[in-house]
């Protein structure tokens, strides 16, 4: 068996996707899996340092990694929704350039999307879970909110912009690409990467077919949110493109990264996907 380090986040949607693998509901005779659970910005950095065989990362971070293929399964796409910029008091878009904005990591896709919308801004990096409190305490003028707080905090703050809706409008309906899973070409053979991709898809499909069981497992990463809210969040970000991104997912990832390059926020060589 091939031993692999598998990085994913302590978030309900990731837990849902990896539930069947982590609990043995879907087993493999090919891989011995060591689960590495870290927040997304830590995984972004570890991928850049090439420390993990397979890992979840932000699409934004892919422009900084080398020798990784994008898996076809396990990606997070927003379908006319996505990260939201919240503020305590109403803010006009023209005020954002001079505002202090809390961000959940410089390499997150949410940060890249906001840059594409308003250009460079004064960002204050902090853990994603601390951002709502920073907005409430007036430590920042606005905060870029990801994960389930997009839903749970929606009535507490003013929505300056829903970046998923903005992206949907400016791209003519493309899904917004947020998170992907990548596999190392240095430590794994192409056939091993392809086989893991198939295994991962089976794990996601198992979760979707056994929704209540998978949600119960995911609740350990709910951070105090209700099961109903987590169910809603998981259904948003574990969708048909998560099972297999297909050409639609490939195009949206390519479009986001190309837009970043066109506006001189990114520089990268090529975008490589796992073979189908």
* Residues acting as catalytic residues: 147
Provide CB contacts within 8 A for 222, sequence distance 6+: 12, 148, 229, 230
Residue 206: CB partners within 8 Å, gap ≥ 6?
Answer: 19, 20, 25, 26, 214
Determine the 3-state secondary structure of 103 from DSSP. Answer: strand
Let me know: does 114 contact 144? Beta carbons within 8 Å. Answer: yes
C-alpha distance from residue 186 to each of 51, 52, 68, 136, 192 (Å): 11, 10, 8, 45, 12
Q: How far apart are CA 68 and CA 271, in angstroms?
A: 9
- Rounded-to-integer distance, Cα 256 and Cα 60, Å: 8
Element (H, E) at 185: none
Q: What share of the chain is helix, strand, coil (3-state, %, to 5)?
A: 45, 20, 35
């Amino acid at each position: 068996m091939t031993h692999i380090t598998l990085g994913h986040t302590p978030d309900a949607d990731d837990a849902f996707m990896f539930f069947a693998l982590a609990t043995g509901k879907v087993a493999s005779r090919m891989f011995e899996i060591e689960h590495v659970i870290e927040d997304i910005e830590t995984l972004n950095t570890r991928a850049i340092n090439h420390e993990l065989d397979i890992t979840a990362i932000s699409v934004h971070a892919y422009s900084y990694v080398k020798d990784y293929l994008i898996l076809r399964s396990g990606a997070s796409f927003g379908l006319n929704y996505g990260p939201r910029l919240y503020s305590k008091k109403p803010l006009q878009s023209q005020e954002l350039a001079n505002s202090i904005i809390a961000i959940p990591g410089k390499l997150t896709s949410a940060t890249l999307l906001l840059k594409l919308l308003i250009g460079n801004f004064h960002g204050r990096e902090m853990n994603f879970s601390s951002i709502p409190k920073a907005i409430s305490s007036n430590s920042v003028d606005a905060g870029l909110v990801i994960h389930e707080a997009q839903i749970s905090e929606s009535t507490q703050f003013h929505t300056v912009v829903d970046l998923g809706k903005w992206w949907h409008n400016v791209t003519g309906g493309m899904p917004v690409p947020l998170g992907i899973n990548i596999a190392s070409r240095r430590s794994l053979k192409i056939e091993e990467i392809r086989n893991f991709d198939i295994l991962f898809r089976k794990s996601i499909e198992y979760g979707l077919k056994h929704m209540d069981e998978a949600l119960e497992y995911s609740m350990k990463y709910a951070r105090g949110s209700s099961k109903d809210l987590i169910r809603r969040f998981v259904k948003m970000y574990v969708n048909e493109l998560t099972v297999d991104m297909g050409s639609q997912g490939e195009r949206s990832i390519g479009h986001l990264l190309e837009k970043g390059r066109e506006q001189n926020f990114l520089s990268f060589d090529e975008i490589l996907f796992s073979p189908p």
